[in-house]
Amino acid sequence: MAQKVLVGLSGGVDSTVTAILLQREGYEVEGVYMKLHEKEGYHEANFSRAERVAAYLGIKIHFLDLGEDFKREVYDYFVESYKEGLTPNPCVMCNRTIKFGKLMDFADRVGADLVATGHYVKCDGKAIYRAKDKSKDQSYFLCEIKKEVLPRLIFPLGEWIKEDVKVFAADIEILQDIATQKESSEICFVENDYTEILEKHMDIDLEGETVDTQGNVVGNHKGYMHYTIGKRRGFFVNGAHDPHFVLDIKASSNQIVVGTREKLEVSHFDVKQINLFETLSDFHCDVKVRYRTRAVPAHVRIEGEKGRVVLKEPVFGLAKGQIAAFYDGEKLLGGGVIC
C-alpha cells in the first residue's frame, strides 16, 4: 500500500509542484490549506487556487484553521519581541510550532504517514541539508523544528533549481495563471513594513534619545521600534562626521545606542533556546546569524540551557532575538536564539 503524504498546499507554484511530483512518484497524496492569520482577502484567493489544484490532481483537500495557535505562538511573539527591543524571526517559530508542529498533529488525525511542503531543503529522515538551489535554500528557517518530526518529512524541491521548477510549471495546465502570482514574502502577515503591524498595538512614534556607547546623549530618534541593529538612517547625531549605525536598542528607556561601523563588529555571542538534531556540546561548525548572510566558521560550547559561539571571523550587525543556525558542511545541525 502506498504511503499517504499530507502536502501543505498554499495555492502557489512550489507547493503545487510538490504535490504533483509526489503523486507521480506513487504516493497517496492529500492536501491541506493552513489558515494562519486574518489578512483580508488573502485566504479566499489562495484557498480557491488550492482547491483547483486538488481538483486537477483528484485529491482530497482539507482547510485547517490554525489562527488561534498562530496568533499565540507566532504573531504575539513577533509583537512582544519588538516591544522588548529584540529582532524576532517569526518564520522560524512558525515552522517549529505550526507548520511542523500543529500540522504534524493534524497529519496524525487524517492518517498521513508523511508531511510535505514546498520548502527548498533536503531531508533524509535523519537530518536536514541545504537545498541544491543555494539561492532558495530555506534550511535556516528549519533549525528550530523538533528532531522527532524529521523521519516524517519529505521535501521534493530540495533537489530542484527554482528556474527548473518554473519550466516544469509552464507545462502544467493548472499552473498557467498560478505561475503569474507574486511570490509570498518571508513574513506572511506583513504587507509592506513590520511597523504597520506594531502600530496596531502600541504607539511607536515616541521620540527618544540617541546615545553613544558610553551612555552620552548625542541626538534623538523617532521611537525605538523603528530601528533594528545595523540601521544607518532615521535618527539624528549631533556633529557626526562619519556614518553612524544602530548598535543596540534599549526598550525600557526608549533609547538607541549608535556608533561607527567598526563597533558593529562581533566576534562572539551567546544563544538560548538551543535546538540540535544530534547530541553535541562542544563542536566546530559554520554559523549563519541571519538568513541572507553567509555562514562563517565558529566554535560552539553548550553548557546547560545556553551556549557560547566564538567566531573565527567577525560578523556585523548581530541582533538579539534573531536566529543562529549551525551547519556541518551541507548538514543543518540545529540552531538557537541570539541573546
pLDDT in tens, 212-232: 999 999 999 999 999 999 999
Does the pLDDT at position 84 exceed 80? yes
> Which residue has better confidence, 280 or 191?
280
Length of the chain (residues)? 339
pLDDT of residue 181: 59
CA neighbor of 189 nearest in space, from 201, 177, 174, 178: 201
Does the pLDDT at position 182 exceed 70? no
DSSP string, 180-249: GSPPPPSSTT-SS-THHHHTTTS-----EEEE-TTS-EEEEES-GGG--TT--SSEEETT--S--EEEEE
DSSP string, 260-272: -GGGGEEEEEEEE
The terminus-to-terminus CA distance of the chain in angstroms comes to 48
Burial 76-85 (b: 16+ CB within 10 A, else e): ebbbebbeeb
Predicted confidence band of residue 180 (pLDDT cuts 50, 70, 90):
low
pLDDT of residue 200: 93
Segment 308-323 shows an average pLDDT of 96
Fold of 264-338: Elongation Factor Tu (Ef-tu); domain 3 (2.40.30)
Predicted confidence band of residue 186 (pLDDT cuts 50, 70, 90):
low
| Active-site residue (options: 94, 123, 143, 285) | 94
Domain edges within the chain: 4-180, 203-259, 264-338
Cβ-contact 284, 296 below 8 angstroms:
no
Per cent of the chain over pLDDT 90 is 85
Per cent of the chain over pLDDT 70 is 97
| Active-site residue (options: 91, 123, 143, 188) | 188
- Single pTM value for the model: 0.93
| Helices 162-170 and 13-24, packing angle to 10 deg | 80
Is 285 known to be catalytic? no
pLDDT of residue 216: 95
CATH of 203-259, one of 1.10.1200.10, 3.40.50.920, 2.30.30.280, 2.170.130.10: 2.30.30.280
pLDDT tens, residue by residue, 29-56: 999 999 998 877 778 888 999 999 999 9
Is 188 known to be catalytic? yes
Distance between CA atoms of residues 8 and 39, nearest Å: 19
Helix (H) or strand (E) holding 316: strand 306-316
pLDDT tens, residue by residue, 257-305: 999 999 999 999 999 999 999 999 999 999 999 999 999 999 999 999 9
Query: Alpha-carbon dihedral of residues 275, 333, 183, 19, nearest 10 degrees?
Result: -100
pLDDT of residue 286: 98
Predicted confidence band of residue 17 (pLDDT cuts 50, 70, 90):
very high
Does the pLDDT at position 68 exceed 70? yes
Predicted confidence band of residue 183 (pLDDT cuts 50, 70, 90):
low
CA neighbor of 77 nearest in space, from 332, 321, 335: 321
pLDDT of residue 307: 97
If one looks up domain 4-180 in CATH, what number appears? 3.40.50.620
